[in-house]
Chains A and B, each alone.
Chain A
Amino acid sequence: MNNFQYSRANDVADVIRLLAADPGAKLIAGGTNLIDLMKENVERPSRLIDISRLPLRNVEETPDQGLRIGALVPNSDLAYHPLIEQRYPLLASAILAGASAQLRNMASVGGNLMQRTRCAYFYDTTTPCNKREPGSGCSAIDGLNRNHAILGASNSCIATNPSDMSVALAALGALVHIAGPTGERTIALTDFHRIPGDKPHVDTNLSTGEIITAIGLPPRGFARNYSYLKIRDRLSYAFALVSVAAALELEGNAISEARLALGGVAHKPWRRLEAEAALRGQAATPDHFGRAADLLLEGAVAGSHNGFKLELARRAVVRTLMQAASGTPQSQAHKKIA
């Protein structure tokens, strides 16, 4: 780890002032990804601004019946929060599918969004990586790319975002509340992360000098018909090869509202409104789910080692929608896929 200065921030204004004063500074809350990357010399901040004591730990109901989740709420506290368990169980399930109990205790929800989109070459400082060193090349495109992106990738980068929480937040239509030197702004979670394009070193649309203050959840929680299915190389504590967040509202067997997002396949949580629109008004059947999967996966391109993801993703979408429709969401503890 490089030597760095340490500052403890007391409030959001303090953070914005400290960020403006040191362009090489980074914020630290749980530190689960940042400290790890610093140990590999991938991240070398001149200063860490400790935001862990800021008063951003509340989960509050908003006047529109939604929720506002403080950026420093630990992942585990959010997953087990009664309002999340009861009203947004898709989000609870996705969080519990990620990382380990220790890491979920440490990691904040804002930090979960800020974890780097990454692959093994990003960590390996002996190899070229456009995300780590812009312009140096991508080692994964002609290298070991079994875990890599099939959607939205570029010739510069095929890394995937590993957050499970973000996949559920994308499906739920969450908002990201941001504060910065010019005031506050709010963007859709689906606009928060970027596809790599020719700037894979920029993971998100958070600007220099800004901080995430809260996540907003709209009132619709899909608590009856949802499922989060994560397919990975071992049963726990591994990144997704493919994950699916599915949420439905049903009138009888007819779909009145549908949400669908994929993890493990792109530089960001992958949601496509056309796939959801195709489900509205349709019967909840495997055929219709397959059609939605095809729309969601439109344009998917495999690399040399991850061709299996195309069919895996399609089948996982259909299976997850079946679980959601039947009201039998995937358990994150009992691993048999129903």
Chain B
Amino acid sequence: MADTTIPERIPINLVVNGERRALEVVPWTTLLDALRDRLELTGTKKGCDHGQCGACTVLVDGRRVNSCLTLAVMKDGAEITTIEGLARDGTLHPLQQAFIDHDAFQCGYCTPGQICSAAGLLAEGRARDADEIRELMSGNLCRCGAYPNIVAAIEQAMSRS
């Protein structure tokens, strides 16, 4: 017989933006909801909640993932970087500065996901030109249509990294 008792909250540890955070979660808590609702890091956005828009993109152990399709309990012990963790000592991350320089957003809702995804793209080192940036950023939608400026911003950060 399937176990129908309500599961206990499960204690997990995450290192979020360099800081160790202990919390207890029910198994169906997504990493996105844990970040936003439990750790009050609301920079990471919930868009489609189905992995189609990329607004929830964060870095887990340095790799970009959709936090809406990730269970927090499965990432016990992982290092998470969100948009709040990219600036260093009051200086914007080169991608954040490049997005400002190139006016790479309008409403801004997709921007944290775009920037975290671009940070993952730079770390992967697979994009060499604008076409490859476009292809490897295709998991991040911008309904304002700032795509040309987003590509230009990433090209700037890529050339300076």
Let me know if B81 is at the binding interface, CB within 8 A. Answer: no
CA of A147 to CA of B136 in the docked complex: distance in angstroms?
Answer: 24
Let me know if A4 is at the binding interface, CB within 8 A. Answer: yes
Let me know if A106 is at the binding interface, CB within 8 A. Answer: yes
Write out the residue numbers on chain B whose beta carbons fall within 8 Å of the beta carbon of A237.
138-139
Let me know if A127 is at the binding interface, CB within 8 A. Answer: no
Interchain nearest-CB distance for B80 vs A (Å) = 14
CA of A101 to CA of B123 in the docked complex: distance in angstroms?
Answer: 12
**Most B C-beta atoms less than 10 A away, residue of A35, A100, A102:** A102
Size bracket of the A interface: 35 or more
Q: From residue 48 to 81 of chain B, which have CB atoms closer than 8 A to chain A?
A: 49-51, 54, 57, 63-66, 69-71, 73-74
Write out the residue numbers on chain A whose beta carbons fall within 8 Å of the beta carbon of B3.
5, 22, 46-47
Q: From residue 105 to 145 of chain A, which have CB atoms closer than 8 A to chain B?
A: 105-106
Select from chain B the residue with minimum beta-carbon distance to A30.
B69
Write out the residue numbers on chain B whose beta carbons fall within 8 Å of the beta carbon of A76.
124
| Partner among B10, B54, B71 whose Cβ is within 8 Å of the Cβ of A102 | B54
Contact A105 B63 (CB under 8 A): yes
CB contact under 8 A between A101 and B6, given known A31-B71, A35-B69, A106-B69: no
Let me know if A220 is at the binding interface, CB within 8 A. Answer: no
Write out the residue numbers on chain B whose beta carbons fall within 8 Å of the beta carbon of A25.
2
CB contact under 8 A between A32 and B7, given known A48-B27, A101-B136, A237-B138: no
Let me know if A50 is at the binding interface, CB within 8 A. Answer: yes
Interchain nearest-CB distance for B89 vs A (Å) = 28
8 of the cross-chain contacts (CB-CB < 8 Å) are A3-B6, A5-B27, A6-B71, A101-B120, A101-B121, A102-B65, A106-B69, A106-B70
Interface, chain B (partner A; CB < 8 A)? 2-7, 10, 26-28, 30, 49-51, 54, 57, 63-66, 69-71, 73-74, 117, 120-121, 124, 126, 131-132, 134-140
